[in-house]
Structure 1
Amino acid sequence: MAKDFDTMEDSNRSANPSFHEVSDPSRRTLLRGGLGALLGGSLGLGSLAGCASMGGMMGGKLIGFESVPLSTADAVTVPKGYVAQVIAAWGEPVGLSGETPAFKFDGKNTAAEQAAQMGMHHDGIHFFVQDGSADATKSGLLVMNHEYVDDGLLHADGIATWSAEKVKKSQAAHGVSVIEVEFKDGKWTKVSPSPWARRITATTPMGVGGPAAGHKLMQTAADPKGMKILGTINNCGTGQTPWGTFLTCEENFINYFNGPATPNADQKRWGLQKVDAKLYRWHEHDERFDAVKHPNEIHRHGWVVEIDPMDASSTPVKRTALGRAAHEGATIAVTRDQRAVVYMGEDARFEYIYKFVSRDAIKAGGARANATLLDHGTLYVARFDADGKGTWIPLVHGQGPLTAANGFADQGEVVIKTRQASDLLGATKMDRPEWTAVDQKSRKVWCTLTNNSNRGTGTNAATDAANPRANNTMGNIIEWIDSGDFDGTTFAWKHFVLAGDPTLARAEAKGNIKGDAYACPDGLWADARGVLWIQTDMSTSAMGKGDLVNMGNNMMLAADPATGETRRFLTGPKGCEITGVTITPDGRTMFLNVQHPGEPASERNDPANPRAVSNWPDQRADGRPRSATVVVRKADGGLIGT
């Protein structure tokens, strides 16, 4: 999600060491020969042993395509020999039986129509082979997030004449879409109607699992038992489980709530404040979003939600054992004894990196057999030390400072107050940790740290080894390997890369990329061949200015973890973010999302001039920019990335 650098959340006032503080001068010299060398050289990662190719075929060299240049065009650009196709744009019917409302380019679709259409601002996405599929390479389900909305595009007159209907429409444009797709006559299309088609929105009933289920801090007047929550919001990154379910992550949920003029300590730690007219005004017509009247409602959001895409009648469940945070993503690895490990970043300045290790092994039998697997296990937060080592600290009630005397009555309160617990445990404050990626064979784990321009000022001024730049406008990617297995409680870490532009005069912004320049890494995914796909999210308020002056539009790149080589694979249209990526089992079709094309620096369009920045993808004289899914294939049918 693009964020204005001046207004994005920064609420961690703990005394914990930041990623910059874990490095003393001797450590910085040891780590790649000091900051100058760190910015000027490339970081080798060693070989990616035993990497299998997709579809049972060896892919040869991991990256074989010709880089695309930087772009400021209002178009999607892919390498020579590749073709791109747009499907599933905001407003298209998802394929519900009997409900096929057409998209109205004047913004006059109703809330009820929007509830049967693709949501707005596509984000994380995964491809699932549906039950009984005859050919997993030619059909499947796409499940994707819809992170937030631009009210200037969603409604014909924007936020003027604000009403309950507009709130309902905004809520219907959030959440998750499940669509069926098939490859037919040389292209991918949505199947409609489809028994799997589904919309999950900000008003869909949710179950609650794990230690916070029924907790007093989860109880409201409408739900006195704290077991039934309405909706999921600000759905950003995702995860796909080995048992066939989809994990959707609630990120900047706090922006939807109106808070008191003077928030209490808990509310302040989560960034709650009086509603900003630039954001959402849901509380004016949906009282549960007024935290002054319903203070516990904020505790019911910020979770990882598990969805079974194969059962359109199933109830999504908020998995509270994974902790409450501004979740960016949830990437799963599997230990040698078949337990699930979930790696998670929290996208806010100076927040933390987490992992959850399941108590039980994954069972055969799919979603039903593993229906409560993510409700039992141990949640950890990361501490990155100056010597290149680190520790996963357990967030377990009764251990260390996590006691009733310190405000944690039980494990439910620990996970509800995950940030406060991590503060007490001395976790390392990071530069906006976002998506994580895992290579199951090499056991390497990566996390994008998008940026943080606040390192040089105020309470959190100090730098450290893991966050080595005071004015980190460009972002970086960190890599670690857990000791022994993915459930290890210690790890060894290093920088995979510092993003940047080597043509700039400012030393901190040059970076050390081996290959094509980029800034603000966000989306991240390791495919089955071992390619690391990197997606960027330069804020529209910063694009084309300062350190980002030469970077053009947001993009996606491919990196070879063994060599560090990085090539630009795709560039997006004006004002967009590139986010979410998934590939069919044969490795020959890629799906990715273009979010918020046309977003202006203010992050809200003028309804009187919706085409001011972009008119992608329709390019109609009466159109408006629409988030959409892009399908990428090689013209010769080869493996993506080669």
Structure 2
Amino acid sequence: MAKHDLDPNYLDPNYEPVVNHSGNTPFHQVLAARMQRRTVMKGSVGAALASVMGLGLVACGSDNSSSPATSGNVAKTDLGFKAVATSNANQVVVPEGYTAKAFLPWGTPITGSYPAYRADGTNTGAEQEQQVGMHHDGMHFFPIDQKAGGNSSAEGLLVMNHEYINQDALHASGPTAAADNAGVRPADEVRKEIAAHGVSVVHIKQDSEGTWDIVFGSPFNRRITGNTEMDIRGPVRGYNKLITKYSPNATETRGTLNNCSMGPTPWGTYLAAEENWAGYFANGDATQPREQTRLGVGSASRYDWELADSAEDQYVRFNISTVGATAADDYRNEANTYGYMVEIDPFTPESKPQKRTALGRFGHEGVIFAPVKEGQPVVCYSGDDSRFEYIYKFVSAKPYYAATAGGYLLDEGSLYVARFNDDGSGDWLPLDLENADFKAKVDAAVGTTVGDVVAFSGFENQADVLLNTRLAADIAGATTMDRPEWGAVDPNTGQVYFTLTNNSNRGKPGFEGVNAANPNELNNTGHIIRWSEQGNDHAATSFDWDIFVFAGEQGTETVVDGEVIVSLTDDNIFNSPDGLWFDYNGRLWIQTDGSDAAPYQNNMMLAANPETREIKRFFVGPLGCEVTGVVSTPDVKTMFVNIQHPDGNWPDASDPRPRDATVIVTRDDGGVVGA
């Protein structure tokens, strides 16, 4: 996610108000205690750290590379490329011997009548529904023969999220503001904006010369938008707090919005995350229910879609004020149908997307699955990307069998939230009313103030718990984190990695200051945490955790037991780690969404060897962009990387509008990317 200057009036599509006032132990306090025992961050702030932590930090005498020397055998995870330098050029930079090419920019026709992109911004809403959306984000490549057990690297379905929009670029002369247009917005502008959100499914194929292109006319080519019909599945299906005029039985909704990262399922479908969706709705009531306040819904919406001049139901629904006699007469509950992981079957284009409510409702950054085992539960993890929020885990009630596996496995199971203990251990706390410990905590909280919920009244049932996942996590006693974003599971060791991007509130009045985990005021650089589940069983309820690397400038060191494990150099300085992905050979790819000031310059992607912690910069994006979303073909010879919200008329300098796009990266000798 792009997180820059936050706007209290929700005009910034990345606005994430701090809505956790639970008082739970913040992660920086846990980490501070943990660091006293084992791991510290060193570098240009070393003296300040010694003062903050009461530590006598002794220099380790290491001024060499970012990792210790390897022991001999060349592993698949070795990084064989020459690191690229930081850059502030308006172009993509890749290592010597590699080529990068822009592909599938916003507006590319992929379905229907294949309407051409027009650089003057005059494409209609109906045309945008047939074109690649805006602000590319998480994505996955599905081999075209995957359902038959194959792993083609020459043809497949590239599925990608479109997180939000650039209104100025989307319209010919920018958006028409309701305030300047008798209090309404042109309906087709609204339709176009909704259509630019969502997901694109694109059938692509490589020719004999190695060039990738769209398979035009393929039945698989598809757009899912902010207005596509969807089913509600899992424990929240049919719950009265989801009743709307559109779905009086609370089983359906329309659209998915602000889709950030994703997660390919073990059975070959795609889960899109709904992250900063709260700002799309407007509630003008004097008071709001906790289902809205704890998620950050405000009195005004970001784009004023509810003010479309046609007053059609598909637009009015973004007004979630109480205007009818009952919930079945208005859209007071419409926002309760958002905040989930949305399952899409790319191989069945006629299928309806499914909102999987058992995975919880919050600001999902994405979801990652642990390796599945025949006859064992399915396990997946998700981060809630907001300051002082939590990391969650879902364990299915039913076992996985490859022959019959499907989305039904995500409809029943146990949802947990993470507590990180200061001794390096951790616990998964159940969010289940049938669990005696959690039920006791809920009962004890009734009548008290939980966060900003005054006189907490309990939960009606398990559906209510899942609808209010953040509130349930507050009560459980989870550890607040510094914006947990993408996760990844090491295919070789089973260890789980998560990026903690930064926390722009750290050090401000009313918030904690610097500490060993966050040595820069406001914690602008972030770090990556990892853990091992007890007994290497991903369904376990306890784990051991540590820090993989601290981000920062030259000289930033991650020190374990007095030894410098990582020392950042010109080849690998980075800040605000965001995207995270293990390739099929076990390399860890790290993408950034941080400051574009010196010394970091444009956002980037780095590769890491998880065993040695060697890290090298592999890719630098163009001006103003976030580098987000990465996947490769199964042979790891073609890599797809997404560029979001570029500036400077990238990728075509002759186009007056910047266009988000996917970048295809290949080795000139046809070899494995990163090797």
Fold equivalence (TM over 0.5): yes
In structure 2, what is the Cα distance between the partners aligned to 1:129 and 1:392? 35
Structure 1 match to 2:568:
513
Counterpart CA distance in 2 for 1:60 and 1:228 is 46
Query: Any idea what the Cα deviations from partners look like across 1:145-171, whole Å, max 9, x if unmatched?
Result: 000011011011112263111111000
In 2 relative to 1, CA 420–455 (structure 1 residues): closer, same or farther, beyond 3 Å? same
Structure 2 residue aligned with 1:178, among 179, 201, 205?
A: 201
Partner of 2:451: none
Which letter maps to 2:630? V
Whole-Å Cα distance in 2 between the matches of residues 467 and 408 of structure 1? Answer: 36
| Superposition map of 1:149-228 within 5 A | 149-160=165-176, 162-184=185-207, 185-228=209-252
Cα deviation digits, residues 317-376 of structure 1 (max 9, x gap) = 00000000111010111354442211111111111001111112222336xx41311101
SS in 2 for 1:373: helix
Flag the 1:198–1:187 CA change in 2: closer, same or farther, 3 A.
Answer: same
1:641 is matched with which residue?
674
Alpha carbons of structure 1 residues 168 and 562: separation in structure 2 relative to 1, 3 Å: same
Q: Is residue 514–residue 522 contact of structure 2 (8 Å, CA) maintained in 1?
A: no
Aligned length: 599
Find the residue that maps to 1:517 and give its secondary structure. coil
The 1:493–1:463 alpha-carbon spacing in structure 2 relative to 1, beyond 3 Å, is: farther
Check conservation: 1:219, 1:226, Cα contact below 8 A: yes
**Equivalence for 1:235:** 259
Structure-1 residue corresponding to 2:20: 12
Provide the C-alpha distance between the structure 2 equivalents of 1:270 and 1:331, rounded to a whole number of angstroms: 22
Deviation at 1:172, TM superposition (A): 0.5
Partners of 2:70 and 2:494 in 1: CA distance: 10
- Say whether 1:478 aligns with 2:529: yes
Give the structure 2 partner of residue 271 of structure 1: 296
* Superposition pairs of residues 558-597 of structure 1, within 5 angstroms: 558-597=607-646
Q: Pick from 500, 506, 509: which aligns with 1:449?
A: 500
Q: Which moved more, 1:454-463 or 1:175-184?
A: 454-463
Aligned with residue 277 of structure 2, among 239, 247, 253: 253
Structure-2 residue corresponding to 1:2: 2
Q: 1:384 aligns with which of 420, 424, 429?
A: 420
> Aligned partners of 2:400, 2:390: CA distance in 1, in Å?
27
CA contact (8 A) 2:3 2:593 kept: no
Q: What is aligned with 2:30? A: 22
Aligned residue type for 2:294: R
Partner-residue secondary structure (3-state), 2:279: helix
- The TM-score, its normalising length taken from structure 1, stands at 0.88
Larger Rg: 2
Which stretch has the larger CA shift, 36-45 or 85-94?
36-45
From 103, 108, 113, the equivalent of 1:99 is 113
Letter of the 1:431 counterpart: D
Select between 66-75 and 40-49 the one with higher mean Cα deviation.
40-49
Is contact 1:454–1:470 with CA below 8 Å preserved after alignment?
Answer: no
- Whether the 8 Å CA contact 1:340–1:362 is kept in 2: the answer is yes
Residue 241 of structure 2: SS of its match in structure 1?
Answer: helix
Range 131-140 or range 310-319, more displaced:
131-140
2:585 corresponds, among 514, 522, 529, to: 529
2:163 — aligned with what? 147
Give the counterpart letter for 1:624 in structure 2. R
In the alignment, is residue 615 of structure 1 matched against residue 615 of structure 2? Answer: no
Secondary structure in 2 aligned to 1:249?
strand
Q: SS at the partner of 2:616?
A: strand
Report matched runs for 1:432-443 at 5 Å.
432-443=483-494
Residue 329 of structure 1 aligns with an amino acid whose one-letter code is G
Instruction: Structure 2 unaligned segments of length 5 or more: list them.
Output: 8-14, 51-56, 309-314, 323-330, 447-456, 557-565
Contact 2:66/2:567, CA 8 A, preserved across alignment: no
Where 1:140 maps in the other structure, the secondary structure is: strand
Which deviates further from its counterpart, 411-420 or 134-143?
134-143
Aligned residue number for residue 339 of structure 1: 377
Task: Tell me if structure 1 keeps the 8 A contact 2:267–2:406.
Answer: yes
Q: Deviation string for 1:358-399 (max 9, x for gaps)?
A: 112222336xx4131110111110011111111110110243
Q: Secondary structure of 1:497's match? A: strand
- Checking the alignment, whether the CA contact within 8 Å between 1:76 and 1:570 is kept in structure 2 is yes
Q: Could you say what secondary structure the match of 2:553 adopts?
A: coil
Which residue number in structure 2 is paired with residue 610 of structure 1? none
SS of the residue corresponding to residue 21 of structure 1 reads: helix
Instruction: State the 1:268 CA deviation.
Output: 2.1
Name the CA shift for 1:619/1:581 in 2 (closer, same or farther; >3 Å).
same
Q: Partner residue of 1:363?
A: 401
Establish whether residue 421 from structure 1 lines up as the match of residue 435 from structure 2: no
Contact (CA 8 Å) 2:416, 2:430: kept in 1 or not? yes
Aligned to 1:607: none
**Shift in Å, 1:457:** 2.8
Amino acid at match of 1:112: A
- Could you give the per-residue CA deviations for residues 389-432 of structure 1, whole angstroms, max 9, x where no partner exists? 11110110243234595421111011100000001111111111
Report whether the alignment pairs 1:280 with 2:303: yes
TM-superposed CA distance for 1:453, in Å, is: 2.2
* Alignment counterpart, residue 62 of structure 1, candidates 47, 66, 78: 78
What TM-score results when the alignment is normalised by the length of structure 2? 0.84
> Is residue 110 from structure 1 mapped to residue 128 from structure 2 by the alignment?
no
Aligned to 2:561: none
Q: Is the contact made by 1:498 and 1:512 (CA closer than 8 Å) also made in structure 2? A: no
